[in-house]
Structure 1
Amino acid sequence: MTAAQEASAVRVVPAWRGGFGRLWTAAVVSRFGDALRGAALPLLAASLTDDPLLVASVTACGYLPWLLFGLLGGTVADRVDQRRAMWAVDLVRAALVAGFAVAVALGDASIALLLGLAFALTTLQTLFDNAATALLPSVVPAGALAGANARLMTGQQIAGGALGAPLTPVLLAAGAAVPYAVDAATYLLGALLLGGLRTEAPDRPPRPAGSTLRAETAEGLAVLWRDRALRRLCLATTLCNVGMGALIATLVLHVTGWLGGGDDAYALVLTAYAAGSVGGGLLARRLAERTGRIRAVFLAGLVQTGCLVVMGTVHSLVATAGAMAVFGVMGTVWNTNQVTLMQERAPEGMIGRISAAFRTLAVAGAPLGALLGGAAAAGIGLNTPALLAAALFACAVACLARRIN
């Protein structure tokens, strides 16, 4: 797809009425509930045990299923009716979280139960997220994909970052089980919305006789590898996620240690990043209209690299907050156009598998980056992780530059 073709494909604005409105609302409501649970679970874990390893294990269980089942979830998403799969997953998640809320209310919660819940919910998420990515092209016109992805990501940023996480302490004050009860209700509402979604069945090529999940997963990876643009985009995204892991894991040390700020300063930097991420939804489609998707991603990565260099070299809280705001804007530009390009270029019936490859590598990159960032901060200096992230983003940009040239 040429830059001109890409630009002409992004001028349609998705209509809120009908399928997209239901899908958007279900996704945003679900992200709100996820943010509540994500903020409340570590606090509950810390109240149940003073063992740091056990507390950290609750978070780790939220990553592990992606590494174990992420690719499989994408293959299953390509096999089944995606709308029904998402509906069924939301019903199961609603039941699991509702049961957990009852256990918390009765004082029967345990670390083992927290670990099991985190693992089960993320396992189900591997199917849900890949099915949602594969379903969107059948809900909106091809030319509206960029706008639809931007609106989805912006809505989820607002629901999760601006509403969900800050509201958690208020709900916890009303009762330890309240955030989980609200989370269960959001899953149920999502299931009701998805149940009323009407889409045409995707035109999938018939599977060969005796085809297995393993063979279909391998086929998806082979298609991804053969597509030069997607292959380089996947590699660039993985490098960026390693850099993001290094930055986010040590950001509190960067602000409170290297910059000498307090808790309020750290909150300011996080708020700047969240606000920028929301604002990026307004820019993503317009930039792609002017440059094409690959160049929009390239420019976003280039600006993000500069932001990281500023963070790692300029000893100023104001500069760091400003850099994080711009970094958030360009992060949404990158994510929106990366997902849209993947949806546009993936062959019919293979979006789930290719989406799964991107997500699995992204999840694998984050904890690796966190370890690298922690080691760099401890061994060299608290500003080093930002510079390490800048180097990784620069490598990602170089990968994309080869595709553009």
Structure 2
Amino acid sequence: MATTVAVGGGTSPAWRGGFGRLWAAAVVSRFGDSLRTAALPLLAASLTDDPLLIASVTACGFLPWLLFGLLGGAVADRVDQRRAMRAVDLVRAALMGAFAVAVALGHAGIALLLVLAFALTTLQTLFDNAATALLPAVVPAGALASANARLMTGQQLAGGLLAAPLVPVLLLAGPAVPYGANAATYVLAALLVASLRTGAPGRPPRPAGSTLRAEIAEGIAALRADRTLRWLCAATTLCNIGMGVLLATLVVHVTDGLRAGNGGYAAALTAYAAGGVAGGFLARRIAERTGRVRAVLLAGTVQTGCLVLAGTVPLLAASIGALAVFGLMGTVWNVQLTTLTQERSPDGMLGRVAAAFRTLAVAGAPLGALLGGAAAAGWGPHAPLLVAAALFALAVASLAPLIN
């Protein structure tokens, strides 16, 4: 049974029971993911000095959303989400364990990195949609915003403040250590999800003869019919192109452009995560003062300024400060989007609506990653941040129809 406690006139989910275990599974999994995502660009940079090839690793980490994202949402609405999440984590653990062995033996090349990124994200399309659909069964509707904020705060704390600074230390112990640790976190997360006793979300009976294709179409239609979600999806798509640019080339910006090395890269990731943690504490308060849509507009405006600052001031301190504020506002944005999607999706369709939103929003990220690599190769290591800033500015402008 979902339980809550009163907090400042609102409700927050109680830690005991299903939410605490789901939170722990998400945080442990993100910790391992962050070890891998911080280490992979460094591994790629050690294998090649071609910015476009390095960016391609990030692009392959987004591409499966275009191919399988909608299918993952439809499956998430059909199956027991807990079993799906557990199965995905166990498969990911096996893949990461095998990759760690390949790295330890010196057999990891760029091609293997591309295959790994593609495979892990393919599995993630089912896991993320199942997790989004499961949360409303764990906490009541009035506590969704607080639950999303707590989940994102915990993930940022474990993934950024703990994992990112740890990567250089783990790499000293061996190049395969971060990947072996990631495999272990997947096993632990699977055990935590398996211990959940919360029932699956209620869903209306599926019509006889209903196909996955028809159910996917229903999810897309539901997203298109909701004016607020439709415009937010368009804005998020533009932002994710910008995020693809940023994530694919941040290691180039810091290690090449700023000459800050692996330590500077870890510091930049840590700053981003620290801001994300702060954003988790502030997201609900900002939304209470401005409303959810205006909170998204504020977040995007501030993020645009942060990217301009980091791209025009070639100092590590400037990039660290800009990324901290950028991360804070990123969490504010994400909490509002996730909560609005959960609140506005029709019963039994959350997995499909969330999948349609994610697929469309993430569609530009591979393009952004390649665009960032091309910008770095053609115009220098700082140029991608300014390209990302322009995309965020367009995203903010696209939200104008929602502001009365």
TM-score normalized with structure 1 length: 0.85
Provide closer, same or farther for how the CA distance between residues 403 and 159 of structure 1 changes in structure 2, counting only shifts above 3 A. Answer: same
Report the Cα distance in structure 1 between the residues aligned to 2:247 and 2:108, rounded to whole angstroms: 30
Task: After TM superposition, give the deviation of residue 303 of structure 1 in Å.
Answer: 2.0
Alignment of 1:5-404 (within 5 A): 11-41=10-40, 58-101=57-100, 115-251=114-250, 262-263=260-261, 268-312=267-311, 318-376=317-375, 384-404=383-403
Task: After TM superposition, give the deviation of residue 286 of structure 1 in Å.
Answer: 0.9
RMSD between aligned alpha carbons?
Answer: 3.2
Task: After TM superposition, give the deviation of residue 184 of structure 1 in Å.
Answer: 2.4
Provide closer, same or farther for how the CA distance between residues 295 and 51 of structure 1 changes in structure 2, counting only shifts above 3 A. Answer: closer
Provide closer, same or farther for how the CA distance between residues 93 and 294 of structure 1 changes in structure 2, counting only shifts above 3 A. Answer: same
Report the Cα distance in structure 2 between the residues aligned to 1:390 and 1:46, rounded to whole angstroms: 24
Report the Cα distance in structure 2 between the residues aligned to 1:105 and 1:265, rounded to whole angstroms: 25
The answer to whether the 8 Å contact 2:66/2:362 transfers is: yes
Aligned AA (1:130): N
Farther-moved stretch of structure 1 (222-231 vs 362-371):
362-371
Task: After TM superposition, give the deviation of residue 232 of structure 1 in Å.
Answer: 0.4
Q: Percent identity?
A: 75
Provide closer, same or farther for how the CA distance between residues 228 and 68 of structure 1 changes in structure 2, counting only shifts above 3 A. Answer: same
Provide closer, same or farther for how the CA distance between residues 60 and 305 of structure 1 changes in structure 2, counting only shifts above 3 A. Answer: closer
Task: After TM superposition, give the deviation of residue 141 of structure 1 in Å.
Answer: 1.6
The answer to whether the 8 Å contact 1:256/1:265 transfers is: yes
The answer to whether the 8 Å contact 1:255/1:261 transfers is: yes
The answer to whether the 8 Å contact 1:205/1:349 transfers is: yes
Task: After TM superposition, give the deviation of residue 198 of structure 1 in Å.
Answer: 1.5
Provide closer, same or farther for how the CA distance between residues 10 and 145 of structure 1 changes in structure 2, counting only shifts above 3 A. Answer: farther
Task: After TM superposition, give the deviation of residue 391 of structure 1 in Å.
Answer: 3.0
The answer to whether the 8 Å contact 2:41/2:251 transfers is: no
Report the Cα distance in structure 2 between the residues aligned to 1:46 and 1:105, rounded to whole angstroms: 17
Q: SS of 1:205's equivalent?
A: coil
Q: SS of 1:13's equivalent?
A: strand
The answer to whether the 8 Å contact 2:306/2:326 transfers is: yes
The answer to whether the 8 Å contact 2:58/2:247 transfers is: no
Report the Cα distance in structure 2 between the residues aligned to 1:319 and 1:127, rounded to whole angstroms: 38
Provide closer, same or farther for how the CA distance between residues 75 and 105 of structure 1 changes in structure 2, counting only shifts above 3 A. Answer: same
Task: After TM superposition, give the deviation of residue 254 of structure 1 in Å.
Answer: 5.1
Report the Cα distance in structure 1 between the residues aligned to 2:204 and 2:270, rounded to whole angstroms: 46
Report the Cα distance in structure 1 between the residues aligned to 2:146 and 2:40, rounded to whole angstroms: 33
Report the Cα distance in structure 2 between the residues aligned to 1:358 and 1:163, rounded to whole angstroms: 30
The C-alpha deviation readout for 1:309-360, integer Å capped at 9, x for no partner, is: 4445556654443333222111110011111111111111111112212322
Task: After TM superposition, give the deviation of residue 193 of structure 1 in Å.
Answer: 1.0
Provide closer, same or farther for how the CA distance between residues 360 and 196 of structure 1 changes in structure 2, counting only shifts above 3 A. Answer: same
Provide closer, same or farther for how the CA distance between residues 254 and 70 of structure 1 changes in structure 2, counting only shifts above 3 A. Answer: same
Task: After TM superposition, give the deviation of residue 117 of structure 1 in Å.
Answer: 4.1
The answer to whether the 8 Å contact 1:86/1:128 transfers is: yes
Report the Cα distance in structure 2 between the residues aligned to 1:127 and 1:85, rounded to whole angstroms: 7
Farther-moved stretch of structure 1 (34-43 vs 78-87):
34-43
> Which residue matches 1:5?
none
The C-alpha deviation readout for 1:41-67, integer Å capped at 9, x for no partner, is: 5566677x6696877665544333222
The C-alpha deviation readout for 1:9-58, integer Å capped at 9, x for no partner, is: 992112111111100100111111122233445566677x6696877665
Farther-moved stretch of structure 1 (175-184 vs 225-234):
175-184
Provide closer, same or farther for how the CA distance between residues 115 and 313 of structure 1 changes in structure 2, counting only shifts above 3 A. Answer: closer
The answer to whether the 8 Å contact 2:59/2:365 transfers is: no
Report the Cα distance in structure 2 between the residues aligned to 1:379 and 1:323, rounded to whole angstroms: 24
The answer to whether the 8 Å contact 2:32/2:163 transfers is: yes
Report the Cα distance in structure 2 between the residues aligned to 1:246 and 1:74, rounded to whole angstroms: 26
TM-score normalized with structure 2 length: 0.86
Task: After TM superposition, give the deviation of residue 201 of structure 1 in Å.
Answer: 3.0
Report the Cα distance in structure 1 between the residues aligned to 2:58 and 2:359, rounded to whole angstroms: 17
Task: After TM superposition, give the deviation of residue 114 of structure 1 in Å.
Answer: 5.2
